[in-house]
Amino acid sequence: MRLSRPFFQIPVLFDVARLQAEVAALPGEAWVAHPDRLPGNSAARLISAGGGETDAVHGQMLATRWLQSMPYLQQVLAGFGVVWSRSRLMRLAAGADVPEHADINYHWHTRVRVHIPVFTQPAVRFHCDGEAVHMAAGEAWIFDNWRRHHVENRASAERIHLVADTTGTAAFWRLACGPTPPRAQWRTLAWDPGASPELLTEDGQRSPVMPAAEAQWLIDDLCAELAITDDTAAARARAARFGKLLESFLFDWRQLCALHGVGGRGLEDFRRLAGAVREAAGPLAEGLVMRTNDASALLVLEKRVLQHLVVD
C-alpha cells in the first residue's frame, strides 16, 4: 500500500521478553525456507490459508499450529483490532540481506505489512526509498512497500520480525499515521495470562470475476503512475496508445460484467478479453515504468490486474 512517506512508527510497545520467549520456544520444524529461496531468509507461518503450511495469499486465513502455541503473539495481533491476512515470523541470518525490490502484486494494493521486531540489533537496517531506520525490539512499524526497499543484517546474530498483513481499520490508520504522542505516553500491551483474544482473519473469498469498478480502480491507479524512460515522440505515442488500450479494455470489461455478472457465467468471454489485452499491451508498454519504483508497467499490469481478473 502506498503511504505518504517511507516509514511510520506506530505508537504502541510490546513485552520484548515474552515475545522472545515464545519465539525461542518454536521447534526447528516450524521454520521453512523463504518462498523465493533467498539465502539466509526463512520464516515460520503464523496465519496462512487454511492454517496450513502454505505461503498462498488467497483463501480463508487461519492461525497455524505454531501461532496456536504462542498466546502472547495472539494477544499482540488481536490487540490491533484489525483483520489479518498472511502473517509470519521472518528470520534473517547474520550477514544476510533482503534484496531490493518493490511489492507490486495485487495482494499489496490494499494491504500494509506491520513489522514487530522480536530479536534484532542496531546493525540491522531497513531501507526504503533512500531512508533507513533500525526497528527496535518490541516496537511496531509500517512502511510503503510500493517504493523500493531492502534490509541489511550487519549484526552478529539473526534478526526475527513478526510481520503481519492487514488492510487496517480507520482506527488503525489514525493510530499509525496520525499525530504521534510523546513516547512516554505510548501504550504497552502487557502479557495477560487470563486473556482469550479474538483473532480476526480474512475470509479470502472473491467473486470468480473481478467487478468492473475494481478493475477501473486498479487501472486508474496504474495509469496515474506511468512514466516514460526515454522521452521521445515515439515513446509518448506508445504511452498514449497504451492508455487508450486500457480505456477500451475497461469499456468492454464493464459490458461483459453487465451481460454475465461476476458470479461465474461467461468465463470464456472474460478470459478471451483478458488474453487480448495482455497480447496487445506488450509492444505498447516498451519503455513504460512506474514513477515511484521504476517497475515495468507491463509487469505491474500483469501482476496487479490481469492475473486476477478471473479466479480459477
The per-residue pLDDT for range 238-259, each reduced to its tens digit, is 999 999 999 999 999 999 999 9
- Asked if 2 and 144 touch (Cβ cutoff 8 Å), the reply is yes
Beta strands in 198-242 (DSSP E): 200-201, 226-228
Q: Which domains does the chain have, with CATH numbers?
A: 7-201 (2.60.120.330), 212-308 (no CATH)
Q: Residue written as cell 499482540?
A: 76
**Bridge partners, 125 (sequence order):** 152
Name the helix (H) or strand (E) containing 254: helix 233-260
Of 303, 302, 255, 311, give the one whose Cα is nearest residue 277: 302
**What is the predicted pLDDT for the residue at 125?**
98
Torsion angles phi and psi, residue 62, rounded to 5? -140, 155
Question: Residue 76 and residue 162: Cα distance in Å, rounded?
Answer: 10
**What is the predicted pLDDT for the residue at 205?**
85
Task: Write out residues in the chain with pLDDT < 50, as ranges.
Answer: none
**What is the predicted pLDDT for the residue at 94?**
98
Sign of CA dihedral 254, 259, 263, 266: negative
Name the helix (H) or strand (E) containing 208: none
Of 169, 167, 204, give the one whose Cα is nearest residue 62: 204
**What is the predicted pLDDT for the residue at 131?**
98
| Cβ neighbours for 176, distance < 8 A, ≥ 6 positions apart | 8, 10, 112, 142, 168
Q: What b/e readout covers 263-298, taking b as 16+ CB neighbours within 10 angstroms?
A: eeebeeebeebbeebbebbeebbbbbbbeebebbbb
**What is the predicted pLDDT for the residue at 5?**
97
